Amino acid sequence: MPAMAENVLQMLMGMVDSYLVASLGLVAISGVSVAGNIIAIYQAIFIALGAAISSVLARSMGAGDQKSQANHATGALTMTLLMSLILGLISLCFGQEILSLLGTEKLVAEAGGIFLAIVGGTIVFLGLMTSLGALVRTTGNPRLPMYVSLLTNVLNAFFSSFFIFILDWGIVGVALGTVLARLVGVVVLWKSLTISFAKPSWSLDRELLRLSLPAAGERLMMRAGDVVIIALVVRFGTQAVAGNAIGEVLTQFNYMPAFGIATATVLLVARSLGQGNREEISQIARKSYWLTLGFMLPLALLIYAFGTPLTQLYTQDKEAVAASLLVILFSLLGTPFTIGTVIYTAVWQGLGNGKLPFYATTIGMWGIRIGTGYLLGVTLGLGLPGIWAGTLLDNAFRWLFLGLLYKKRIGA
């Protein structure tokens, strides 16, 4: 429950940013939306690293190995800082060029480039919040990261509103509000750590690297594919981009139970594996799926029922509203598939096998989602419905792929 609430609060920050940016016009919300998809790639990489941190640390705790715990904690911070440096430099040096390559209009690319340079250039704060949160959560304090997320949301809303409506700093103000709020979150989490650290070294944690690289690769394939999907949506016009962005912001809340329970699933599976209790893992997987469905389906139905008034909080443009409602509908239809994909990915990561989710996502995203989306949406002219039909097929494939292989392993 704390992990679920934390995910909801993290997404609420993006929702608040989108709402504030919406006051600046469709060009601004489109630019920040496209930039947000690049930042989502970064966030996905750090989430994957956080899952790997939780897995290796929970396994060490299950085995009672304190020296290994200290080594993993130090390795986690080292890898976080290294990734942040690389991603931050990419954002600062090539941000606007990346958005232009996606086919966005000049004004949209300029608006998004500003946001990406500021938020992406200081991505170290998001990275540290994710990794420190994983350390704090795994070592027995799952509620604190939730409280920190609540704090950063309140600060983000305050800072961003002040910079936009009082100082009139526009997109720069929204970006600075996000950065400052995350900085405060990093400080609070750092001061709350109770785990011991090993002496820093230039070598990377091999066990953490072995699990985090496939997990990061899986997230990278997913988010990079999302950027390609956005490039396809751009073909349908600014209204379609804005409506698609608003729909995705609203439906993010559908997925929060899945991501929260997946976090717990990784921890529980890894701890059971460390204790040698393999029979419990199947029960964890089964309960995780049905528990997620019980939380996620009512949320999806609620957002679908109130889709129009929720979308109109962002824009009154009829084409953008229609595009947003389409996204909400497809999100509802794909609920069972999405849950299966997320939960079985978490199970395999908890088992220490990040390669299978990587293979499933690479094939599903690049072979099915993008291929089907291009065929239906662009070639056959179905537009946005064709793009989202590809998304449903992708999630269905990955659920079957990961679920059947897991059942085969258990049967063996």
Tokens found for residue 394: 């992708």
pLDDT at 245: 83
Q: What is the mean pLDDT of residues 139-154?
A: 84
pLDDT at 248: 86
Q: Considering the chain, what percentage of its residues have pLDDT values greater than 70? A: 95
Give the pLDDT score at 412: 46
Residue 157 sits at φ, ψ, to 5 deg, of -60, -40
pLDDT top residue among 252 and 364: 364
- Helices and strands per DSSP (H, E), number in the chain: 17, 0
Instruction: Tell me: pLDDT of 288 over 90.
Output: yes
Q: Confirm if 253 and 303 have CB atoms less than 8 A apart.
A: yes
**Is residue 274 predicted with pLDDT exceeding 60?**
yes
* Greater model confidence, 369 or 149: 369
Question: Tens digits of per-residue pLDDT, 289-336?
Answer: 999 999 999 999 999 999 999 988 888 888 889 999 999 999 999 999
| pLDDT, tens digit (0-9, with 9 covering 90-100), for 231-272 | 888 888 888 888 888 898 888 778 878 888 888 888 888 888
Q: What is the pLDDT of residues 185-209, one digit of tens each?
A: 999 999 988 888 888 776 777 777 7
Q: Which of 236, 244, 272 is nearest to 62 (CA)?
A: 272
Q: In degrees rounded to 5, what are phi and psi of residue 192?
A: -100, -5
